[in-house]
Amino acid sequence: MTFVISGECCSDASCVAVCPMNSIHPAPGEPGFGAGASLFIDPRTCIDCGACADICPVDAAQPADRAAPEDVERNAAYFAEREALEATDLDSWEPPAYQVWGRGPQRVLVVGAGPAGMYATRELLLRTTARITVVDRSEQLGGLVRFGVAPDHPCTKQIIGTFERIVRHPRVRWLPGTEAAALVQEYDAVIHAVGARRSRRLGIPGEEAACTAEDFVAWCNGRPGAALPVELVGPRAVVVGNGNVALDLARILLSDQLDTADVSQQVRRTLAASGIKQVVLLGRRGPGEAAYTESALQELLAIAGDRVELRYHARPTGWTPEGLTLDTGETIAAGNLFTAIGFEGQPVDGLPFDAARGIVPNVRGAVVDRPGHYVAGWIKRGARGGIGVNKACAQETVQTLVSASRGAASQGS
Amino acid sequence: MDQTAERLLGSANRLSRDPETEIDWDAPVGDGYGMSPEWSTLYGTPYWDELTEAQQRELTRHEAASVATTGIWFELILQQLILRDVYDKPARSAEFQWALTEIADECRHSIMFARATERLVEPAYRPPFVTRELGRMFKALASGESAYAAILVAEEVLDVMQRDWMRDRRVEPMVRTVNHIHVVEESRHMVFAREETRERLAGAGRARRWVSALVIAIAADMIVSSMVGRQVYVNLGLDADRAVREARRNEHHRSLLRTSCANLMDFLGSVGLLTPAAARVYRRTGLL
């Protein structure tokens, strides 16, 4: 027996660090890390010790005999073309890298209590003696983990427990429901981890009557003040987008098992009453370019079966109450259009902004031409990568921040 | 519990290591570092910069030997804690058999550490007298979650250091192998200790949790503070007063310790063992 990682993997790589056999890949720094959503365990070298499962913040690592067969297969398939790494040959491991201590800033402001902000706070606690203030516009911490992750993935939300412990640290001051602007002057350094919450637009006529992924997911998760901006009309809906968010959306629309999910009665009733029985998932490019992960697709197909239709190379040109028109002239009759074609960052007051990429321009997290200002998470690298990828991202930012006030990083051998 | 124990027994079957045959104890030992220099108690201090490279290397070898000695000391405690804990458990249960497997592992590790330190440096190290006596008391009295969480603390702190050293090409090859053997087998021990801690704490009242949390924190302080002592600097002919002073204030080292204990603190927090009193001790020791 071995362990396997399921599709709920958060990729924060804490399992990579505890695996005594170097069996978990792609590790941070290896090709593919941060691109896909999942990490995999090499069944050829796993010794079944369970250290990965013990540390996994979202319970995605499981013994193979208790995991879904497709998870077992996916883990094995990832390594099919790769040589097994011989863990007892210690030179096949990455050498350690060290950060040399200096004084570092003493007062740091972290803006945003989502995964990027919380991982940055954690890293600051470990690497500096700074006092850290964390602010968020929302009254609750967790950001997209709380209000962006599909409600039928409760394991992923467990990570909020870790975040809550971080803000209880005596060197952390947590100010929920606070705007950052007034505070910035009081700090030696500011880490902006404000994410990229706004949905991208298709830019077609009639789109204002569609529902964005941002609105839908916020409504499902009960974000305070969030309302569903459209009336749900069956029997068919179109979801434009080929990322995991689009798949989440389609899955929730078609799921008959939301009873076990963490959603309000009202959300459940509205979905049940919608009469939506069929979803067309529209990719503007081919299946080869699709951004969803294999495991997310399997999960959707398992729940929705033939009630979901996957279409590729389809360019929408307009939306009317009759349906969605494509550039071929065809119209897909549907009651609702949902768009899930990615998120984009919004400009941050006082910082430069790269509108084309939707990010604050930065070098390894340091905002260009704004000393003392740093970015982490989606506003730093664009809206790509799952929750845990923010850990490596935040580590890089904090390393840059700390190095700015001290000597260069010391590379291990 | 039995399910975890069964799994761990299976894992031990898949890969158990025998330092006796895996390490060529007669091969000459080179002049590599004893640990990653960044892990030295003096790294990053002005004193470190004044040392020659040869002195720095020698310092890390003595520090590694001293840390290993603390490892042996704690493994002795641990073996007794486990033996006392399973004394009247049914011998056929997986939990019992795993417990004895762990004791056997620890026993081999202690011999391995002893031989490795003997080959690495001339003088022998020992934890200070007071620490040894307190350890004597602890191993006679501790039980339940205090025993298992203390085991976890000791293993986890050592484990993260050793993961760095085993991957470091600058470190003496024999030491790297010793560290990897320890890391592989400890990963199973830590899974077991976490499971036992969780189980013993289920249903524990606030008062008991408070006391246990504090006992564990104090044990952690003893373990960490006895890893590298004054004698190391004396044996190297350094100004021991100055070395102790600078080591104590070494924020680089404290930062490394905090980082290595991050997972441990997460775990203690999640099972309610990071009470305010315990957290104060961990902060003073430099683990939080």
Distance from CA of A88 to the nearest CA of B (A): 8
> CB pairs under 8 A, 24+ apart, for B91-94?
B93/B2, B93/B5, B94/B2, B94/B3, B94/B5, B94/B6, B94/B9
Scanning the structure block, which residue is given the tokens 């484990």? B159
Length of chain B measured in residues: 288
Tell me the pLDDT tens digit for each residue of A7-32.
Answer: 888 888 999 999 999 999 999 888 88
Average pLDDT, integer, range B262-285: 92
Q: How far apart are CA B39 and CA B56, in angstroms?
A: 11
Structural domain of residue A397, as residue ranges? 107-197+345-411
Whole-number Å distance between alpha carbons of A405 and A382: 27
Closest to A108 measured CA to CA, from A387, A408, A400? A400
Pairing of strands A316-320, A323-326: antiparallel
Contacts with A186 (C-beta within 8 Å, 6 or more apart), sequence order: A107, A109
Nearest of A13, A21, A57 to residue A39 by alpha carbon? A13
> How does pLDDT run across B231-257, given as a tens digit for each residue?
999 999 999 999 999 999 999 999 999
Please give the interface size between A and B, counted as residue pairs whose CB atoms are below 8 Å apart. Answer: 106
- pLDDT of B169 reads 96
Q: Strand A97-98 relative to strand A211-212: parallel, antiparallel, unpaired?
A: unpaired
In a domain, A20, yes or no: yes
pLDDT tens by residue, A321-336: 889 999 999 999 999 9
Mean pLDDT of B176-192: 92
pTM: 0.90
Do A288 and A371 fall within a single domain? no
Q: What would the mean pLDDT of B58-87 be, rounded to a whole number?
A: 94
Residue A216 has pLDDT above 80, yes or no: yes
Quote the CA–CA distance of B269 and B216 in Å, as a whole number. 13
Residue of A47, A58, A65, A158 for testing the chain B interface, max B β-carbons within 10 Å: A47
Nearest Cα of chain A lies from the Cα of B149 at a distance, in angstroms, of: 15
| 8-state DSSP, A85 | P
Contact yes or no for A101 and B10 at CB 8 A = no
Contact B85, B145 (CB under 8 A): no
Which are the contacts of B278, defined by CB distance < 8 A and separation ≥ 6?
Answer: B213, B214, B216, B217, B268
Inter-chain CB proximity A412 and B168 less than 8 Å: yes
Report the pLDDT value the prediction gives residue A408, as an integer from 0 to 100: 40
Q: Is residue A331 part of a domain?
A: yes
Which tens digit of pLDDT belongs to each residue from B195-222? Answer: 999 999 988 899 999 999 999 999 999 9
Alpha-carbon distance A17 to B91, whole Å? 35
Spatial distance between the Cα atoms of B172 and A253, rounded to a whole number of angstroms? 59
Span B114-128, pLDDT tens digits: 999 999 999 999 999
Residues A73 and A76: their CA atoms lie apart, in Å, by 5
H-run or E-run covering B205: none
Task: Give the pLDDT confidence score for residue A406 in this predicted structure.
Answer: 46
The residues with which A192 forms a beta bridge, in sequence order, are A111, A375
Write out chain A residues lying below 8 Å of B256, CB-based. 98
Q: Last residue of a domain, which of A296, A326, A342? A: A342
Which residue's entry shows tokens 């399992």? A15
Centroid of chain to Cα B132: 15
**Residues forming beta bridges with residue A318, ordered by sequence position:** A325
**Chain A residue with the nearest C-alpha to that of B176:** A90
Q: Would you give the DSSP letter of residue B25?
A: T
User: Rounded to an integer, what distance in angstroms lies between the CA atom of residue A186 and that of residue A175?
Assistant: 15
Sorted by where each begins, the domain ranges of chain B are: 1-16+34-285
- Does residue A97 fall inside a structural domain? no
Ramachandran assignment for A50, one of left (phi > 0), alpha (psi -120 to 50 degrees), beta (any other): left
pLDDT of residue A256: 77
Q: What is the ipTM of this complex?
A: 0.90
Do residue A228 and residue A193 come from a single domain?
A: no
A88 assigned to some structural domain: no
Cβ-Cβ contacts under 8 Å for A287 (sequence gap 6 or more): A310, A312
Are A50 and B8 within 8 A, CB to CB?
yes
Contacts with A252 (C-beta within 8 Å, 6 or more apart), sequence order:
A150, A151, A152, A220, A258, A271
Do residue A310 and residue A379 come from a single domain? no
- pLDDT value at position A97? 87
Total domain count, chain A: 3
Q: Is the pLDDT of residue A138 over 60?
A: yes
Both tokens of A395, joined, read: 């580590």
Residue B7 CA to residue B260 CA, distance in Å, equals 26
Burial of B256 (0-12, 13-18, 19+ CB in 10 A): buried
- Split at pLDDT 50, 70, 90, the class of B23 is confident
> Is residue A307 domain-resident?
yes
Q: Each residue of A138-154: b (16+ CB within 10 Å) or e?
A: beebbbbbbbbbbbbbe
Of residues A280 and A255, more confidence is placed in A280
Q: In the predicted model, what is the mean pLDDT of chain A?
A: 89
Q: Are strands A278-282 and A236-240 parallel, antiparallel or unpaired?
A: parallel
Torsion of CA B120, B124, B125, B129, to 10 degrees: 170
> Dihedral through CA B187, CA B190, CA B192, CA B198, nearest 10?
-150
In this structure, the answer to whether residues A54 and A138 fall within a common structural domain is: no
Is the pLDDT reported for residue B224 higher than 70?
yes
**pLDDT, tens digit (0-9, with 9 covering 90-100), for A330-378:** 999 999 999 999 888 999 999 999 998 899 999 999 999 999 999 999 9
% of residues, chain A, pLDDT over 70: 96
**In a mutagenesis test of the A interface, which of B155, B156, B178, B187 is the best target, namely the one with the most A β-carbons within 10 Å?**
B187
> What CATH number is associated with residue A61?
3.30.70.20
In degrees, rounded to 5, the angle at the alpha carbon of residue A283 between the alpha carbons of residues A277 and A288 is: 125
pLDDT value of residue B97: 93
Q: Write down the H helix ranges in A175-310.
A: 213-220, 244-254, 265-273, 294-304
Do A326 and A206 share a structural domain? yes
Give the model's pLDDT for residue A323: 92
CA distance A25 to chain B (A): 17
CATH classification of the domain holding A182: 3.40.50.720
Among candidate residues A342, A358, A379, the one where a domain is terminated: A342
Contact B7 A1 (CB under 8 A): yes
How close B187 comes to chain A (CA, Å)? 6
Nearest to A370 by CA among A401, A398, A346, A344: A401
Q: Is residue A89 part of a domain?
A: no
- Tell me what percent of the residues of chain B surpass a pLDDT of 90: 74
Paired residues of A354 in beta bridges? A359
Say whether B164 and A412 touch across the interface (CB within 8 A): yes
pLDDT at residue A410, as a whole number: 44
Q: Assess whether A254 and A336 both reside in one domain.
A: yes
List the one residue out of B23, B8, B61, B66 whose CA is nearest residue B188: B8
Query: Is the confidence at residue A84, as pLDDT, over 50?
Result: yes
What span, in angstroms and rounded, lies between the C-alpha atoms of A340 and B175? 53
User: Distance between CA B209 and CA B211 in Å, rounded?
Assistant: 6
B1-16+34-285: CATH number: 1.10.620.20
Mean pLDDT of chain B: 92
Residues A144 and A187 in one domain: yes
Where does residue A385 fall: left (phi above 0), alpha (psi -120 to 50 degrees), or beta otherwise? left
Q: Which of B181, B251, B275 to substitute to test the interface with A, most A CBs within 10 Å?
A: B251
Same structural domain for residues A180 and A314?
no
Crossing angle (nearest 10°) for helices B94-120 and B53-86 = 160
Q: Do A21 and B44 touch (CB under 8 A)?
A: no
The reply to whether A351 and A309 lie within a common domain is no
For residues A365 and A120, what is the distance between their CA atoms, to the nearest angstrom? 11
Q: A173 and A51 in one domain?
A: no
Give the residue from A310, A342, A374 where a domain finishes. A342
Which of A115, A100, A101 lies closest to A58 in space, CA to CA?
A115
Q: Are residues A213 and A257 in the same domain?
A: yes
A101 part of a folded domain: no
- Asked whether residue A154 is domain-assigned, the answer is yes
Block residue for tokens 């720094």: A29
Dist CA A288 CA A293 (whole Å): 11
